[in-house]
Amino acid sequence: MSPERAVAPRFDLPEPDAFTRPYWDAAGEGRLLIRRCAGCGRAHHYPREFCPYCWSEDVGWERASGGATLYTWSVVHRNDLAPFGSRVPYVAAVVDLAEGPRMMTEVVECAHGDLRVGMGLTVTFREAGEGGGPAVPVFRPAGRGAA
């Protein structure tokens, strides 16, 4: 009898549920969704079933423009969790979406020395690759091809 091989968990892949399925399905089609409250009119991200500003449950999905500005970032040079170690160095970032919400993400296709607070960014999507999973929104400098 051969011992069972332990499979390392994937920390980079989200686990969609019934509520977040529209978000991840849209990402797979190259669209970024946010939630907007019908009560106060404010948009929010990450997806929640209620408005974090006025607590209304009258919120719905809305397609985001895909535009953002860089709020802050950190260049990660070491990460021991698979598969992040094979991606170093990478840019972990917080961006301000054009619709208002802040979003944690990654900046790609940009030299680290070219990063600037307030620089324009455009959403693009990292395909899950081997092992499956949904596409994940990341951002690149604006003006570098279609999202």
User: Please, are residues 4 and 17 in contact by the beta-carbon 8 Å criterion?
Assistant: no
Range of the domain at 135: 21-141
**pLDDT the model gives residue 134:** 85
User: Please, are residues 43 and 35 in contact by the beta-carbon 8 Å criterion?
Assistant: yes
Kindly give the confidence (pLDDT) of every residue in the chain, 147 residues in length, as a single tens digit, with 9 standing for 90 and above. Answer: 555 665 556 666 778 899 999 999 999 999 999 999 999 999 999 999 999 999 999 999 999 999 999 999 999 999 888 778 888 999 999 999 999 999 999 999 999 999 999 999 999 999 876 556 789 999 999 987 654
Tokens 């094979």, residue located:
86
Q: Is 48 inside a domain boundary?
A: yes
**pLDDT the model gives residue 11:** 64
For residue 80 the two structure tokens come to 């021991």
Give the bridge partners for 76, in sequence order. Answer: 90
Q: Is 66 inside a domain boundary?
A: yes
Q: Is 11 inside a domain boundary?
A: no
**pLDDT the model gives residue 147:** 46
State residue 63 phi and psi, 5-degree precision: -75, 130
**pLDDT the model gives residue 19:** 94
Task: Give how many domains the chain has, as a whole number.
Answer: 1
Sign of CA dihedral 72, 134, 44, 34: positive
User: Please, are residues 69 and 103 in contact by the beta-carbon 8 Å criterion?
Assistant: no
Q: Is 75 inside a domain boundary?
A: yes
DSSP code for 22: H
pTM above 0.85, yes or no: yes
